[in-house]
């Protein structure tokens, strides 16, 4: 074995070690986020919501004799809930977040974010080591795409946090799905470092696939917000109709941003990245023209990329149509992300086409 081959093998081993190390740190972040939600459920806001649900009082405040200290009674202010500001809409304030407004919950939340930053840096190092070991873009097969995709998704989440956006409520779901993604990548999708077929030796590999990864990562964040929007919207509907939310709603959903905030976040990120997804498809067509002598050949990957584009276009159009706002548009957004997932996993694993040269 020559020196170059030995160096590449060592880099590939280093990449594997870093990916597994990142998984270990993500696991610690997962437990820290769990602690954030658990301690946050014991907050003043959580106790107030529980008291409101139990008493059904319509007064301006709820008095709860939580502790007797020198004859005093703890008075918990009733959360401000404005249920119907206009026909078909609500004006509901955002919840206090995963930490629930408590010092201990916030502390564990900050620890979770710090661990996520460390895991992100370690994982990014693993992706870089993989790239150096193969001396090309590190997304030539499903394993490399997966580890890069989750790295970019976490990076996008951390950028939102750095911009002071209220997205820490997404941390637990994000870390959980990143662990799932890396677990599948390292066990089912793992492929040893190798060179690509001649058709992939093009600068379009850097352009087309990198934009596809970025679009998928942002679409994923939008899908998480959309899913939580549906739960939060049901919770707000129950409150507006005088119902009593269950334990899960009082301890978890009450701390999320308002349904309108989640819906707005999802729409904005999907709308922002949609033009880039359009460019991704165009770039792929140009690359196909260079590699295969035709721009479009109805290959399964091409077809499902276009179906995904149509699904997101329908979602964005629905948001501009009065009768399709809210939950109907949210269902379209989840269907669109489902198309993206099938385009990645389903087409690559179960369907044979010109994009099958990289194996898994």
Report strand pairing: 75-77 vs 61-63.
antiparallel
Banded model confidence at residue 1, pLDDT cuts 50, 70, 90? low
Looking at residue 73, the DSSP 8-state letter turns out to be -
The answer to whether 151 and 120 are in contact (CB under 8 A) is yes
The answer to whether 139 and 207 are in contact (CB under 8 A) is no
Name which of 320, 314, 218 is nearest 270 in CA terms.
218
Looking at residue 75, the DSSP 8-state letter turns out to be E
Separation CA 18–CA 49 (nearest Å): 44
pLDDT tens string 59-75: 333 333 333 334 433 33
Name which of 267, 266, 261 is nearest 317 in CA terms.
267
More confidently predicted of 133 and 44 = 133
What residues are paired with 89 via a beta bridge?
86
The answer to whether 7 and 104 are in contact (CB under 8 A) is no
Banded model confidence at residue 271, pLDDT cuts 50, 70, 90? very high
Separation CA 293–CA 277 (nearest Å): 23
Tokens coding 120? 């992100």
The structure's pTM equals 0.83
pLDDT tens string 274-306: 999 999 999 999 988 887 788 888 888 889 999
Rg value, the chain, Cα: 24
């Amino acid at each position: 074995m020559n020196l170059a081959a030995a160096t590449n093998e060592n880099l590939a081993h280093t990449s594997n070690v870093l990916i597994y190390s990142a998984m270990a740190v993500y696991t610690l972040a997962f437990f820290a986020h769990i602690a954030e939600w658990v301690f946050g459920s014991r907050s003043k806001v959580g106790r107030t919501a529980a008291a409101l649900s139990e008493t059904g009082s319509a007064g301006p405040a709820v008095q709860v004799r939580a502790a007797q200290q020198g004859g005093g009674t703890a008075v918990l202010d009733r959360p401000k809930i404005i249920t119907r500001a206009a026909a078909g809409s609500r004006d509901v304030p955002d919840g206090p977040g995963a930490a629930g407004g408590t010092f201990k919950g916030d502390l564990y939340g900050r620890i979770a974010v710090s661990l996520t930053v460390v895991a992100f840096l370690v994982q990014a190092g693993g992706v870089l080591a993989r790239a150096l070991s193969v001396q090309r873009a590190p997304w030539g097969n499903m394993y490399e795409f997966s580890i890069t995709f989750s790295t970019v998704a976490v990076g996008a989440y951390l950028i939102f946090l750095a911009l002071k956006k209220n997205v820490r409520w997404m941390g637990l779901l994000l870390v959980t799905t990143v662990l799932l993604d890396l677990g599948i990548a390292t066990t089912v999708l793992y492929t040893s470092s190798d060179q690509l077929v001649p058709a992939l030796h093009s600068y379009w590999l850097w352009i087309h696939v990198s934009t596809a990864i970025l679009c998928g990562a942002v679409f994923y964040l939008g899908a998480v917000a959309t899913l939580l929007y549906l739960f939060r919207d049901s919770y707000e509907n129950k409150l507006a109709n005088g119902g009593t939310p269950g334990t899960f709603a009082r301890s978890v959903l009450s701390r999320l941003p308002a349904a309108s905030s989640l819906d707005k976040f999802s729409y904005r990120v999907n709308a922002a990245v949609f033009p880039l997804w359009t460019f991704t498809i165009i770039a792929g067509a140009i690359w196909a023209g260079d590699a295969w002598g035709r721009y479009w050949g109805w290959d399964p990957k091409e077809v499902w990329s276009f179906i995904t584009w149509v699904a997101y276009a329908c979602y964005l159009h629905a948001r501009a149509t009065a009768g399709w706002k809210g939950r109907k548009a949210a269902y379209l957004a989840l269907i669109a992300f489902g198309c993206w997932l099938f385009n990645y996993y389903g087409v690559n694993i179960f369907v044979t086409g010109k994009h099958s040269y990289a194996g898994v």
